[in-house]
Amino acid sequence: MATIPETKENRPLNGNDPARKTVHLPGELPGQKPSPEKSNRRPILEIKELHKEFDNFTAVNRVSLTLYEGEIFALLGSSGCGKSTLLRMLAGFEKPTSGSILLDGKELTGIPPYKRPVNMMFQSYALFPYMTVEQNIAFGLKQSKLPHKLISERVEKMLKLVHMEDYCDRKPYQLSGGQRQRVALARSLAKEPRVLLLDEPMGALDKKLREQMRLELVDIINSVGVTCLMVTHDQEEAMTMADRIAVMDKGEFIQIGGPREIYENPNCRFCAEFIGSVNIFDCHLLSSNATQSLIRATDFPNLIELSHDIDLADGMPLTIALRPEKVYISHKKPEESTNWCEGVVDNIAYLGDISIYYVRLTDGRIVSATLPNVDRFKEGLPTWDDHVYLSWDPESCIALTF
């Protein structure tokens, strides 16, 4: 996170500390879970060139994806990007225009929803208001005409799994939002689906309850071992819950990877701006070799330096993305000739655990830097209208060519 150094030598040991600098390639970031395709998990759901059009409007544009057994996968995108349409095709509620859906190697296209080994938990939970918790969970099992004893055993197991044993006789209106979510999840898991589909699973909950329920939902899914595909527009939800994420836009997958990979190594400007906060600089390449690239930004006079090669011809345009937490803020002018700029503190957003400094450069543009509030009453911090210097390490910059 950001610090306020007096010199390079006395920076605390955080993610930007010089003593801990390491260049990591995409997919090789520290602290990241191994990708499912590199583990022993086997493919369970395969989507091949799936396409969906509505009256000459392309909702999903020939996407392909493989889900692995036990994986939690998130489709992340803004409203109208096609993620819910894709989910509905997997559930059988929409018929693809073309393409195929394979579950355990068997084609699902054309099989009605009630015959698919797939269950979907809707954003509204869709609980039957006149049924008790126990009856709601048992509904799908009864529709499948399972033996009464097996239904009772399965319902009891689900009630224990979601910690709702003491509420089995209550109706949905007598439950809190989090409790209704647990019941909907239990009903979805009761039929032991091969794949669980979640449509905005936290959408009906308030912010504090959403944060509480995320990890609880992951624990339940992991304890069952079911493969899960969830749809969300909430970045924190996807980053917290999913093993892998697909960022969607205009019916296409823009980038697929682990949460840390997508955040630290976005493959384009859209992903860099969509995931988290970022400072974007329009630039052009001055020179590049195996150990150093020098870049000229249009927003300030100092050069930007990267510690690796960029596969572009000199003079070509590119974009530099810089996360606010990678930026140092100080009253003292940096000694280096690259990777810094200066301005005036235009605004400060105090968020409790962090403060976000918005610094206005001489040309009028705003650059943000994040400072963790590790000390309750630390003095000497920059305040409104202070003249400050922003700096960053070469490894902190992300070079984007499109």
Q: Kindly state the helix (H) or strand (E) to which residue 119 belongs, with its residue range.
A: strand 118-121
Q: Which has more pLDDT, 81 or 25? A: 81
Residues 6+ apart with CB under 8 A from 300: 341, 342, 361, 362, 363
- The full 3-state SS of 353-399, as one line of letters, equals CEEEEEEEECCCCEEEEEEECCCCCCCCCCCCCCEEEEECCHHHCEE
By DSSP bridging, strand 328-330 and strand 340-350 are: unpaired
Sheet strands side by side (includes 98-103): 57-68, 43-54, 98-103, 106-107
pLDDT tens per residue, range 268-307 = 999 999 999 999 999 999 999 988 999 999 878 889 999 8
Indicate whether 103 pLDDT > 80: yes
Contacts of 29-38 with C-beta under 8 Å, sequence gap 24+, read 29/258, 29/260, 29/261, 29/264, 29/265, 31/260, 32/258, 32/259, 32/260, 32/261, 33/243, 33/258, 35/244, 35/257, 35/258, 36/68, 36/71, 36/243, 36/244, 37/66, 37/68
Cα Rg of the chain, angstroms: 25
Residue range 131-146, pLDDT digits in tens: 999 999 999 899 888 9
User: What is the SS3 assignment for 300?
Assistant: coil
pLDDT in the model for residue 22: 32
pLDDT band at residue 16, thresholds of 50, 70 and 90?
very low
Q: How many CB atoms lie within 10 A of CB 230?
A: 26
In terms of C-beta density within 10 A (0-12 exposed, 13-18 middle, 19 or more buried), how is residue 143 classed?
Answer: exposed
Please check whether residue 197 is in contact with residue 118, taking contact to mean a CB–CB distance below 8 angstroms. Answer: yes
Q: How confident is the model at residue 155 (pLDDT cuts 50, 70, 90)?
A: very high
- Tokens encoding 151: 């239904």
- pLDDT at residue 1, rounded to an integer: 38
Model confidence at 30, pLDDT cuts 50, 70, 90, reads low
